[in-house]
């Protein structure tokens, strides 16, 4: 987050699909998923170390998605190849749609944008990587053009729009095998960081149910595809605890899936303690048992807390056959305040990755493309160079790659 050999069983199918997509730029033709269907524990293990292509396809200008809107260069095959060469086997690609969705009742996605999403997916999919795509910024009130708002009074319109958009996305990718995972949304909540409220949580549950039903009915491999869903703000306590999260039913999935197996994954994020991982100041720069300065170390959120949080997800979901994906984790660069900070960031990343693996969960590092002060970056997206080899090595050590 060691170059790994590409699995022969998926390579030929993936390359064929990717070439076809790059030529026609249109919806994939449905084809049988000829790869061996993996169960929950198998796919979690096979996904290995994960990495986020953050601040790119979810970036926007005035509500219109643009991968260069936030100052990063156009995504290329060379970048994805560098990520893969570093050892990452899974790439999560956050995607916003926003004002690239047309008016109702059809809510047609701008074809150029959906084709570009597919092209970026193919950069990773054609290399045998697992790819997660979601609906990322459409539910943030602070984002221009957002509309997936759980406490809006326009729920009938929102749900109709949500269904139509996912129908188009799922149809576009219907021919992709299980290496393509669809994620319903990202950090969906009211925007207030208190406990979940109603009817917002019920609406989030409804969105997840609409997502599952819509994707399953969209044809091709969607009937057996792994689907990833979050609870309130991808928060562990509000997903695993008794706060209102409801697992969607999966009644339209393929009859070829054994009745005792699932095809739904649960998404949560991990940035605790936030004063170390995300607060933009030089106050808290150290973490973990190797910390040397108590005044620079948070009073909470250390290894025991991390273990307990991921164990909650294991006990609540993994034991029931639902893989858990830590879809985002990481800590910002504060080395300008503390020269040892990157060592503690590496300790944090290694421990999250190792603890997730211990509990049969997948960890996906958040990279926002920014290097230097307050950045999460592991790579320079212009020169395709590794900027944080120590953190990447720690992640690979954590997952055992």
Catalytic residue among 58, 183, 188, 328: 328
Active-site annotation holds for 187: yes
C-alpha dihedral sign at 342, 343, 346, 351: negative
- Give the Cα separation of 134 and 185 in Å (integer): 6
**Is-contact 240 298, C-beta < 8 A?**
no
Q: How far is 163 from 207, CA to CA, in rounded Å?
A: 8
CB atoms within 10 A of CB 185: 24
With CA atoms as reference, report the closest residue to 116 among 21, 28, 182, 50. Answer: 21
Kindly write down the DSSP assignment for every residue of 202-260, as one continuous string: HHHHHHHHHHHHHHHTT-GGGGT--EEEE-GGG-HHHHHSSSS--PPP-TTS-TTS-TT
Q: How far apart are the C-alpha atoms of 273 and 334, rounded to whole Å?
A: 14
Question: What is the rounded distance in angstroms from the CA atom of residue 54 to the CA atom of residue 64?
Answer: 17
3-state secondary structure of 3: coil
Q: Does residue 361 have an active-site annotation? A: no
Q: How far apart are CA 320 and CA 331, in angstroms?
A: 30
Q: Which residue is catalytic, options 187, 261, 280, 361?
A: 187
CA dist 273 and 313 (Å) reads: 18
| DSSP class of 149 | -
Angle between helical axes of 111-125 and 8-24 (0-180°, round to 10): 160
- Burial call 316-335: b when 16+ CB within 10 Å, e when fewer: bbbeeebbbbbbbbbbbbbb
- In a 13 Å sphere around the CA of 80, the CA atoms on its Cβ side amount to 24
Complete DSSP assignment for 10-79: HHHHHHHHHHHHHHH-SPPPP----SPPP-HHHHHHHH-EEEE-TTSTT-EETTEE-TTTTSPPPP-HHH
Catalytic residues: 187, 328
């Amino acid at each position: 987050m060691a170059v790994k050999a590409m699995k022969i069983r998926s390579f030929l199918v993936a390359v064929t699909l990717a070439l076809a997509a790059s030529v026609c730029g249109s919806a994939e033709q449905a084809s049988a998923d000829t790869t061996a269907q993996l169960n929950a524990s198998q796919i979690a293990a096979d996904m290995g170390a994960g990495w986020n292509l953050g601040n790119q396809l979810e970036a926007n200008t005035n509500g219109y998605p643009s991968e260069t809107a936030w100052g990063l260069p156009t995504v290329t095959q060379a970048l994805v190849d560098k990520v893969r060469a570093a050892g990452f086997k899974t790439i999560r690609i956050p995607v916003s749609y926003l004002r690239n969705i047309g008016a109702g009742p059809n809510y047609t996605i701008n074809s150029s944008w959906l084709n570009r999403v597919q092209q970026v997916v193919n950069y990773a999919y054609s290399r045998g990587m697992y790819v997660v795509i979601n609906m990322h910024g459409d539910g943030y009130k602070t984002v221009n053009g957002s509309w997936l708002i759980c406490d809006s009074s326009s729920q009938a319109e929102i749900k109709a729009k949500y269904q139509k958009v996912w129908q188009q996305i799922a149809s576009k990718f219907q021919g992709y095998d299980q290496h393509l995972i669809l994620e319903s949304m990202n950090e969906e909540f009211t925007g207030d960081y208190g406990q979940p409220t109603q009817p917002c949580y019920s609406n989030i549950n409804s969105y997840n149910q609409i997502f599952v039903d819509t994707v399953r009915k969209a044809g091709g491999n969607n009937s057996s595809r792994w689907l990833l869903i979050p609870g309130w703000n991808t928060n562990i306590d509000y997903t695993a605890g008794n706060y209102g999260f409801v697992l969607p039913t999966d009644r339209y999935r393929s009859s070829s899936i054994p009745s005792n197996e699932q095809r739904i994954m649960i998404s949560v994020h991990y940035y605790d303690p936030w004063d170390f991982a995300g607060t933009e100041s030089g106050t808290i720069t150290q973490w973990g048992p190797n910390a040397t300065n108590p005044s620079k170390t948070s009073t909470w959120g250390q290894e025991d807390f991390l273990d307990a949080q991921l164990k909650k997800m294991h006990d609540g979901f993994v034991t029931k056959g639902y893989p858990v994906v830590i879809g985002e984790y990481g800590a910002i660069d504060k080395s300008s305040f503390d020269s040892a900070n990157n060592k503690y960031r590496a300790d944090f990343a290694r421990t999250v990755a190792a603890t997730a693996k211990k509990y049969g969960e997948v960890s996906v590092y958040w990279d926002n493309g920014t290097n230097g002060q307050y950045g999460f970056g592991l790579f320079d997206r212009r020169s395709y160079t590794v900027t944080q080899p120590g953190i990447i090595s720690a992640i690979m050590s954590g997952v055992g790659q």
